[in-house]
Amino acid sequence: MTLPLFITRGNKYLFGSLMYGMGYTLYYLTNHYPYFQPKPLPMTWIDHASPFLPYTVLIYISEYLFFACVYILLSTHDNINKYLYSFFLLQAVSCFVFVVYPTIYPREQFPVPQDIPGWLQSTWVWLRTQDAATNCFPSLHVSSVYLSAFAFRTDERRHLFWPFVIWGTLIALSTLTTKQHYVADIASGFTLAVVFYWWFHKRQAYQPIQEWWTEPNRVAKF
């Protein structure tokens, strides 16, 4: 199946907003309205050894800035198309797993300390209200940041690859220290990022949308 390269300089931010919006909607619905009863996963020694560090919530929520920076800084339009395809399909597949195999983290065992500043307590209240304890496995937090960082490997600005990998790794580690995810979630999220990057950036065939739409055997591609 050949996919059309439909993102241009003129519609980059429109389609980017739509893709991120649809991804967030899928996540929110599966996160707050699970179809089956969510089940906890076994705790490994790494889960038990990871301390609860309230201030690392600032690293955790920097994910939203991370995505904005990646999308703004990606400069090659073919690469932007590949990134959006991979990003949205990653969200869709992960949300399918959330529906058929819902998991939950025992956050009640890790109450937010009362001796931290008020603004930090408010940040925690906001996070735990808008992001329920479900949708653990696989971690979309982890898979999304790594997939986004990997996009710089084939971009004109590939010098940004390692800075974003380091930032993404700090975000991935913060999922443990904020007690949002199990270590199994991180491993599965990273694996998904590698698979989706490999497929959409290395294996999937693309065409400019004008050629894709006007080619006589277009229907046969599906």
Q: How far apart are CA 3 and CA 215, in angstroms?
A: 12
pLDDT in tens, 163-211: 999 999 999 999 999 999 999 999 999 999 999 999 999 999 999 888 8
| Contact criterion met (CB below 8 Å) for 66 and 141 | no
Low-confidence ranges of the chain (pLDDT < 70): 215-222
Q: Is the dihedral of CA 135, 137, 143, 145 positive or negative?
A: positive
Q: What share of the chain is helix, strand, coil (3-state, %, to 5)?
A: 70, 5, 25
| Contact criterion met (CB below 8 Å) for 107 and 7 | no
pLDDT in tens, 62-74: 999 999 999 999 9
> What is residue 9's predicted lDDT score, i.e. its pLDDT?
86
- Tokens linked to 210: 């004008």
**Closest among 83, 72, 81, 85 to 6, alpha carbons compared:** 81
Kindly list the distances between the CA atom of residue 170 and the CA atoms of 85, 157, 203, 209, in Å, as whole numbers in the listed order: 25, 21, 29, 37
- Tokens linked to 135: 């949708």
How many Cβ atoms sit within 10 Å of the Cβ of residue 138? 26
> What is residue 217's predicted lDDT score, i.e. its pLDDT?
52
Q: Is the dihedral of CA 171, 174, 180, 186 positive or negative?
A: positive
| Contact criterion met (CB below 8 Å) for 147 and 197 | yes
CA neighbours closer than 13 Å in the CB half-sphere of residue 57: 19
> What is residue 85's predicted lDDT score, i.e. its pLDDT?
96
> What is residue 148's predicted lDDT score, i.e. its pLDDT?
97
> What is residue 209's predicted lDDT score, i.e. its pLDDT?
86
Domain definitions of the chain by residue range? 56-205
Q: How far apart are CA 146 and CA 166, in angstroms?
A: 10
> What is residue 222's predicted lDDT score, i.e. its pLDDT?
45
Looking up tokens 């894709």 gives 212
